[in-house]
Amino acid sequence: MRVQECYNFYMKRILFIVNFTSGTAGIRNRLPQILETLSLRDCLVTVFPIVPAKGLVSSRILNTPYLDYDCILCAGGDGTLNYLVNEMMTNDIRLPLAYIPTGSTNDFSRSLNRGHNRTDVELARAAVSGNDFVYDIGKANGRYFNYIAAFGAFTEVSYETPQDLKNTFGYLAYVLSTLGSLADFGYRTHMLVEHDGIIEEGDYIFGAVSNSTSVGGVESPLLKDVRLDDGLMEVTLIKAPENFSEFSDTLGDLVAGTITHDSVRMFRTDHVRFTADKPAAWTLDGEAGPAEQVMEVQVVSRAITMKVPRSKL
């Protein structure tokens, strides 16, 4: 074997999937630095841009029978990562994954890095020499999600807030829109909730099954002790308020992170079933999902291996 062939044989092969339109689209300007970082670490990098309007989607490359890489690096928002993980699970691709968040809220990255801001260079290096972190994902009626499946007033915020508003104000746009949604007392969904041999029923303004410390770009005190790899997810149910006093009590609990009123209910489980009196709209990882009358959510324990910077652990 020639020297050059031997050198190439030991180079790490990276599939770099990039969504150039997520967030403020700043990844375009940072791409050269990321590629230089990987190349200086003896990586062969294949860049695949995500352009759904032109048929360039993650399934197009992950469905190929000759997929042969050491790691997948994803640069995009929570939605981009959601589609990628779905394709990986559907096609039984168990390659390690590295993630450079470029979206407006980046809830999953906030949870993964526990509030530490990581640079593109740090996260790109992790694809080559980072530690393995194996985390749980969820499965909702056959579709996978990284960190949240939710219904109710909050859920419309993430995909109905205009993109230019997201790009300009970041997660502040989500906060303002969320407060506006909460103020609508008329919004309610009647749900039967079954888990761990328990049956609960009520009218809810919001419900979520999550594996995250952050929702809508906001760190929640109620979720500060969440672990992403414990085989459980946190279920949050918020009852629809009947008047401003109940609304104020609910908001107080959410802000303080202490549940002192029965308007907020939280529990942990690995399997929960929701039955609504009529189809309810759900979102998965902040992306518009199906309207379902029955939604069954279960934990897929330790399903994805994420490459993280060594300093994180």
Q: Which residue has the tokens 């915020």?
A: 157
- Alpha-carbon distance of 208 to 167, in angstroms, equals 25
> For residue 58, what are its two tokens?
């993650």
Asked if 233 and 210 count as a contact pair (C-beta separation under 8 A), the reply is yes
Report which residue type is found at 122. Answer: E
Determine contact, residues 241/185, Cβ cutoff 8 Å: yes
Structure confidence at residue 173 (pLDDT): 46
Contact call for residues 82 and 59 (beta carbons, < 8 A): no
Domains of the chain: which residue ranges? 3-137+304-312, 145-301
pTM assigned to the model:
0.83
Regions of the chain with pLDDT less than 50: 1, 3-7, 166-176, 312-313
How far CA 184 is from CA of 127, 173, 175, 263, 282, in Å, comes to 44, 18, 15, 16, 18
Q: Supply the pLDDT for residue 260.
A: 67
Burial pattern 220-250, b for ≥16 Cβ within 10 A else e, equals bebbeebebeeebbbbbbbbbbeeeeebebb
pLDDT in tens, 91-103: 999 999 999 998 7
Cα distance between residue 98 and residue 312, in whole Å: 14
Check residue 69 and give left, alpha or beta (phi > 0: left; psi -120 to 50: alpha). Answer: beta
- CATH number for the domain whose boundaries are 3-137+304-312: 3.40.50.10330
In this structure, the number of other CB atoms found within 10 A of the CB of residue 261 comes to 14
Q: CA-based angle 8:13:19, to the nearest 5? A: 140
Cβ-in-10-Å burial (0-12, 13-18, 19+) of 50 comes to buried
The residue whose two tokens read 């009529």 is 278
**pLDDT tens for each residue of 173-185:** 444 455 555 555 5
Half-sphere exposure of 271 (CA within 13 A, CB side): 3
For domain 145-301, the CATH architecture is: Sandwich (2.60)
Give me the helices (H) in the chain, please: 3-9, 27-39, 58-62, 78-90, 107-113, 120-129, 155-160, 163-169, 171-182, 244-256
